[in-house]
Structure 1
Amino acid sequence: MGFDTTVYLSLFVTLLVIMDPTGAVPVFLSLVGRKGKDARLRAAWQAPAVSLLVITLFAIGGQAILGYLHIGIPALQGAGGLLLLLIALDLLRGRGAGAGDPQGTEEVNVALVPLGTPLMAGPGAIAAVIVAVAQADSDAGAYWAIAAAIVSIHIVLFLVLRFATSLIRFLGENGITLIARIAGLLLAAIAVQLIADSVLGFVDGR
């Protein structure tokens, strides 16, 4: 079959809301803002690269991991939904993923941790990708769409971090706060849908 546009758009929007590129901007600036231009540019591509590697590994081997642990898709959907709901509540209350302590970042590559993972490649994004791959059901068009969505969201992450300084000057603190609230609302809706799908999966005996 050909490229599945519906799968691509669905997963891309889901990852866009979960990974929240604009929400990563304040975290990025707080961790690398005092470093030189070269260090900032290096972190801007290293963090998405680490996230891409982690997400790809789980996309390829996630179902094998689930099989080894005897975990069904409905259980993963339920756990993912509850996790996303917690993240959504944090966003709605103004407690984004970046409430970490920036101390000691001179000795640690912050592009790996916490930017690459768990800020970008967090449990929510991993769960969304594993579920998408499982639902593809050996459809080559869907697999290509999933791969394209994963690459696309990481390109967006790179571009947002690359121009983070200009972006935050344009949006301002209030603009980023507003975007975080909207993302939280959308993420809460996705979480509720995942939980509903999980319940239906258990009822159907999947």
Structure 2
Amino acid sequence: MIFDVTLYLTVFITLFVIMAPPAAIPIFLSLVGRKSKEARNKAAWQAPAVSLAVITVFAIGGQAILNYLRIGIPSLQGSGGLLLLLIALDLLRGNDTDGPKGAEDVNVALVPLGTPLMAGPGAIAAVIVYVSQAHGSASSYLAVGAAILSIHVVFFLVLRFSTVLIRVLGQGGITLLTRISGLLLAAIAVQLIAESIRGFIEVS
């Protein structure tokens, strides 16, 4: 069995462009900036872990799951967009997005960081496509799996070391970053909803 380096690089670059780890930094900091150092560090590894679990599940049986539930990629895009839009509105209004007391780091890592920000419709669709194109080749499956793992390691490193910026920004900077992140997240949400509508129109 020969490791397919070309496929590995193709999948890794595709996921890097779709998931955009650097773009998650301001949103991550706006959500965890006021938490304790331990909570920030915990969220930095929990979010990629959640995303890795979600994408792995869809890589293994994503097409079967979607077919069984009769759900298309446009539906995932629409639901993900609406969820992100709700969170974006909270950030813009300055509302508490941490969830119940005592579970805030877990909730932030699950939603919106782990999913749908990282493990979003685009990443899920790309993984399903690449797995379907593997045609039962062990080397191809290994390359796709290694690429999925690699992008999440990159995500962890980016989020983990982005927390040093909190000391530079201070509370005022975090507040400003929260508003900017809300605007960016709203734009991402609207784009997902627009792509969902376009997908439904093309299918019909």
- Confirm or deny a common fold (TM above 0.5): yes
Shift of 1:64: 1.8
Pairing partner for 1:162 from 160, 163, 167: 160
Runs of 4+ in 1 over 4 A off after TM superposition: none
Structure 2 CA distance for partners of 1:142 and 1:105, relative to 1, 3 Å:
same
Partner of 1:104: 97
Once residues 115 and 140 of structure 1 are traced to their aligned partners in structure 2, the CA distance between those partners, rounded to angstroms, is 31
Provide Cα deviations, 1:43-81, integer angstroms capped at 9, x if missing partner.
Answer: 00000000000000000001322453678xxx86xx59x
Partner of residue 204, structure 1: none
Deviation at 1:157, TM superposition (A): 0.4
CA distance in 2, matches of 1:66, 1:118: 17
The residue correspondences of 1:56-205 to structure 2 (distance < 5 A) are: 56-68=56-68, 99-102=88-91, 103-105=96-98, 107=100, 108=104, 109-166=107-164
Query: How much has 1:144 moved relative to structure 2?
Result: 0.2
- The residue that corresponds to 1:13 in the other structure is 13
Q: CA deviation at 1:166?
A: 3.7
Query: Runs of 5+ in structure 2 lacking a partner?
Result: 169-176, 189-194
TM-score between both structures, scaled by the size of structure 1:
0.67
2:69 and 2:163 mapped to 1: Cα distance?
Answer: 43
Q: Provide the identity percentage.
A: 62
Which residue number in structure 1 is paired with residue 50 of structure 2?
50
CA contact (8 A) 1:160 1:167 kept: no
Q: How many residues align?
A: 167
- The 1:69/1:110 distance shift into structure 2, 3 A limit, reads closer
Q: For residues 135 and 100 of structure 1, what CA distance do their matches in structure 2 show?
A: 39
- Which residue pairs with 2:29 in the alignment? 29
| CA distance 1:167–1:64, shift in 2 (3 Å) | same
Q: 1:54 to 1:100 in 2, by over 3 A?
A: farther
Q: In angstroms, what is the RMSD of aligned CA positions? A: 3.7
